[in-house]
Chain A
């Protein structure tokens, strides 16, 4: 069967070719074509390297297209005296002092030039009357610091980088492998990354690819929580695979939840905070199990819980507070609409003209996907898992702890501490890629023993390992449906490992995860064909999601404090004395579970101070 039989000659030819041309440019593999991956590709191609670019989806369809709000840079074009130092201070403060300060400062300093570059590449940023870049305000700052392109900033940024990469592709400096999935790294006996093992998602062929360095830029992990604001391919599977091969995973327990998303059967779509800004009111029926339609519930039987609990701020309490309150009402009081995890966000008392003038765009999204008109029917919303601050551990040069393997973008942990500020992620992705690309090139040039000189044994055995996993899966004859296990995983993680965290629930969650892993070994693949078998690929990812979930749940269980997005009602305060440190998970292969160690945080520039948003800093 051809599928399992990669022609070895191809690999050998490649190596002979490379040995023959002594001055061959470094060949770098970039996995992932979101903002981070593409940023790295551009830097490498520009510096004369060659890139093999791998992505599950055509890179132009990566999750980065979903970002709406904008990207931060202290350009100070509004006469406010904004500085990169202020941006740095806001980011560290917003992250509750858990982020390493040196790289965050460097990112904030690089931001204005990054915006200029994107502008030169043709991003259709909104402009001022003078033809300059326009900036808007965003959460966690008092400055107009966010550049934006309508309501589709991420899409515009991704396209700009995609176009530059297409240019390099047409010059032969980039080879794309779209519809290919990274399965694992090829690591030789000196613990050095030498390339990757990947699967063609159409032929299902498993192949190894040598490289002088590898950069992982595989994005978020939303699918671990079942439904999230993330795209479908954001499973964290690649990060998990690397973690299981020895890469450290840092601060996994820090998960950002956005208070208002639109629950859907398939995903949670973001609903902007501005709906509450314009007077939207959040409520649930007062009586448990009230099945009446919203209209027939009189005012006296509606519970405007945010207004009752926080009379001063009402519906406009900060994100994390709103998120926690909604969770409490749904899970502790069991008052979600129709017994479902949802509450009303009601705009029906506001006149149509005002709504259309101020909120038109976002109300259209709601109508398009829910089918109800929010002018006349209250929206149903619920907090949604949105972003992972944690990710692969890297040093200040984006290098993981395995030589030759780098990481950039949402899949690494370096820039957001315990909580990410809005519009800082797009920045950290591009910046991280811009650091990782040149660092990987430098490494490739300096590396004494090139990959071309590595024996093929490391490649063969990794391919064999992956093929064996495939054979085992295909032949598995249990009764478990992978999509149903996934649903259970998502419900479990969302319930216990997002907003309110209790140690008992976290421990139970981990026990349940072990159970799910055990059930995974009795999986039954209804589709055993070897052509474009999407459920097969998904099932492989599911295993990795389960493994990574344990890192998140156990990390959360251990951290007995509340910091940024991590909130434990039993430990409501931040505890710098014991917990101002980075969590590092390492996979113990023999025990099949994570082991943890901790590392001090770089606080060389700003001494930690309490984080409060009820008063000026």
Chain B
């Protein structure tokens, strides 16, 4: 018999429904990843025991680990499904939705909280306008090399899923947002909003919630130096808080 692959997928038709597990057995193909396996299921939606079922709902777009859409729990770990090669996974491959975000359906969850957080910390460079104002500020290669890794964050939210502090009771903003604060605070023009960004990270749900468990760096698919960004920003927040205190 042809080599096969077994996937166990957690299904839930809507946020109020009961979750259930379905098992699929697919013909193995070289280079198969978790998304291509689900495309296979869509073309032939039948479970391992021969029950007809529906195609699995999930988010995806680029399929090359740069759009940040397809984060899910694969064998218990938060990671991108499109770069999760089946050959490198223990079988049966267990696929579940991220657990800390509102479920939409099956493997699709609502991660808009990160985009809201980015709004809160004003993660942008406040340019005067789009008219021609000549070239931008000089940036030396060493500065570019420091900024570039953080600018590669794909907003996948894996770091937040893995973080022990990211939950409803703390309201913690999460590592990704803190790294973006770091990115914009070091930009020559972005700095203009530094104060406001740091203030947004003070208090409940702010940077103080981080316990430096380092789970975030471990799961980040883009190897973003999150703990460094957090400790650098943490220091800045302290300094700012101090200043604010004495200014009254």
CB within 8 Å of B: which residues of A?
42-43, 46, 57-58, 60-63, 65-66, 113, 116-117, 119-122, 124-133, 149-150, 152, 155-156, 159-160, 163-164, 166-167, 169-170, 178, 202, 231-233, 264-267, 269, 365, 368-371, 434, 481, 483-484, 487, 526-527, 529, 531-535
Contacts and interface: CB of A to CB of B under 8 A. Distances in A.
Given A149-B151, A483-B55, A116 B123 contact: no
Interface string B173-205: 000000000001001011000000000000000
A269 B85 CA distance: 15
A42 B124 CA distance: 13
Contacts of A368: 65, 83
B1 interface: no
Contacts of A487: 43
B52 interface: yes
A63 B66 CA distance: 9
Interface stretch (B137-145, B161-169, B224-232, B238-246): B137-145
Interface core residue of B31, B62, B119, B144 (most chain A CB under 10 Å):
B62
Contacts of A169: 119
A169 B132 CA distance: 23
Nearest to A163: B124
Contacts of B155: 58, 60-61
A91 B40 CA distance: 41
Nearest to B66: A65
Interface core residue of B40, B63, B87 (most chain A CB under 10 Å):
B63
B152 to A, nearest CB: 6
B62 A65 contact: yes
Contacts of A117: 127, 130, 132-133
A234 B54 CA distance: 23
A339 to B, nearest CB: 14
B140 A131 contact: yes
B13 interface: yes
Given A121-B127, A132-B138, A532-B14, 19 more contacts: A61-B61, A61-B155, A65-B66, A66-B62, A66-B66, A120-B127, A120-B136, A128-B141, A129-B141, A152-B66, A155-B66, A156-B151, A159-B151, A167-B126, A232-B62, A267-B63, A371-B87, A532-B104, A535-B54
B68 interface: yes
A121 B125 CA distance: 6
Interface core residue of A46, A116, A371 (most chain B CB under 10 Å):
A371
B57 interface: yes
Given A124-B144, A369-B83, A371-B87, A60 B43 contact: no
Interface in B24-41: 29, 31-33, 35-36, 39-40
B118 interface: yes
16 contacts: A116-B136, A117-B133, A119-B135, A124-B148, A130-B138, A166-B123, A232-B60, A265-B31, A265-B32, A266-B39, A266-B63, A370-B31, A434-B130, A526-B53, A535-B42, A535-B54
B124 A164 contact: yes
A57 B136 CA distance: 31
Contacts of B53: 526
B105 interface: yes
A43 B129 CA distance: 9
B82 interface: yes
A113 B132 CA distance: 6
Nearest to B56: A534
B64 interface: yes
Interface in B89-120: 104-105, 108, 112, 115, 118-119
A167 B151 contact: no
Nearest to B85: A371
Contact of A481 (B33, B43, B82): B43
Nearest to B32: A265
Contacts of B66: 65-66, 152, 155
Nearest to A159: B151
B13 A122 contact: no
Contacts of B13: 529, 531
A125 B130 contact: no
Contact of A166 (B59, B62, B119): B119
B213 interface: no
B122 interface: yes
B81 to A, nearest CB: 10
Contacts of B115: 58, 60, 166
A483 B31 contact: no
Contacts of A160: 125
B152 A152 contact: yes
Nearest to A42: B130
A126 B33 CA distance: 33
B134 interface: yes
Contacts of B139: 127, 131
A94 to B, nearest CB: 26
B6 interface: no
B88 interface: yes
Nearest to B58: A534
Contacts of A65: 62, 66-67, 154
A113 B129 CA distance: 12
A169 B35 CA distance: 32
Contacts of B61: 57, 61-63, 231-233
A170 B104 CA distance: 25
B124 A46 contact: no
Nearest to B123: A163
A63 B83 contact: no
A269 B105 contact: no
A169 B184 CA distance: 18
Contacts of A533: 57
Given A368-B65, A526-B52, A122 B125 contact: yes
B55 to A, nearest CB: 4
Nearest to A131: B138
A417 B121 CA distance: 43
Contacts of B40: 265
B223 to A, nearest CB: 11
A265 B151 contact: no
B37 to A, nearest CB: 8
A151 to B, nearest CB: 10
Contacts of B31: 264-265, 369-371
